[in-house]
Amino acid sequence: MQSSGVQQARVGDLEIAYETFGEPDDTPVLLVMGLATQMVGWPDDFCRGLAERGLFVVRFDNRDTGLSTHLDDAGAPDIMTVLGGDHSSVPYGLADLADDTVGLLDALGLGSAHVVGASMGGMIAQTLAIRHPRRVMSLVSIMSNTGARLSGQPGLATYRVLLAKPAKDRDSAIEQTVKAYRVIGSPDFDRDEDDLRRMAALSYDRGRNPAGSGRQLAAIIAAKDRTRRLGGIRVPTVVIHGTKDKLVAPSGGRATAKAIPGARLVRVEGMGHDLPRAAWPQIIGPIVENAARAADPALVD
């Protein structure tokens, strides 16, 4: 299943890098990746797996990552003051990131799409469904939360990952990524660290942006609790969460599924805060089934 190769779409003042897999005449699914993670965080074979099931897959780099626009002039927010409640240094929020996805859909001539988000991408996908309900045919929120402070919060051991100082060179950045996934990755699934190193090297070469990661983290911290607004979502929704997620506690997935009417919760035993290849059938299957529910109202409970 061939990809389109990386292309650029103009979205307001930004250039958003994207890539597609599958047939443009098939139903589109938009994949939204998480904090400091480029579109290659959705592996090629994962995207092809969705395309082979009849979906036209669009993955992209969020602003401040990869080959999309880096907002260098915005500076680096003071994360400690943001944590303390002072959001004056936060240059943009989750709503802006959600609006970027709408701009990408517009640029691609897509009126709506099935939307799948992982981690921060799940927060963006939820915000998109809240702000632009007509653009979302179905919603899948993976290893994410509602923004509530009492659920889906990081374990103490993960703060050294979130707040680690940026590596100084390519080799150090690759090893920093490997060490991070030893903390937050799936403990009950095999981890191919050579593959992880290749992904980390590709990400470094495509466009490493530590300051942008800080701006994205600030957007997450500054976001308000979405629980009440999630109650207004009316599209078929699946929430997928690993039972061993240390970065976004499984309570985040449970709270998300509880907040969205009719949402289905899929627990992946032994999965942490990553997308291990052996768990793909438990992720791709529900995405495709949820899209089918949207296409056939008779399948919606």
> What is the value of pTM for the model shown?
0.96
Q: How far is CA 2 from CA 11, 34, 140, 220, in A?
A: 25, 24, 24, 34
Q: How many C-beta atoms lie closer than 10 Å to residue 64's C-beta?
A: 25
Q: 3-state secondary structure string, 188-210?
A: CCCCCHHHHHHHHHHHHHHHCCH
Reported as a single tens digit per residue, the pLDDT across 50-66 is 999 999 999 999 999 99
pLDDT averaged over the chain? 95
Give tens-digit pLDDT for 170-191: 999 999 999 999 999 999 999 8
pLDDT by position in tens, the chain (length 301) = 678 899 999 999 999 999 999 999 999 999 999 999 999 999 999 999 999 999 999 999 999 999 999 999 999 999 999 999 999 999 999 999 999 999 999 999 999 999 999 999 999 999 999 999 999 999 999 999 999 999 999 988 888 887 788 899 999 999 999 999 999 999 999 989 999 999 999 999 999 899 999 999 999 999 999 999 999 999 999 999 999 999 999 999 999 999 999 999 999 999 999 999 999 999 999 999 999 999 876 555 5
The whole-angstrom separation of Cα 281 and Cα 288 is 10
Half-sphere exposure of 65 (CA within 13 A, CB side): 25
The dihedral region occupied by 6, where left means phi > 0, alpha psi between -120 and 50, and beta the remainder, is beta
Q: For the range 173-179, what are the long-range contacts, defined as Cβ-Cβ under 8 Å and sequence gap of 24 or more?
A: 173/200, 173/204, 173/208, 174/200, 174/201, 174/204, 177/203
What residue ranges do the domains of the chain occupy?
Answer: 7-155+211-299
* CATH fold of the domain at 7-155+211-299: Rossmann fold (3.40.50)
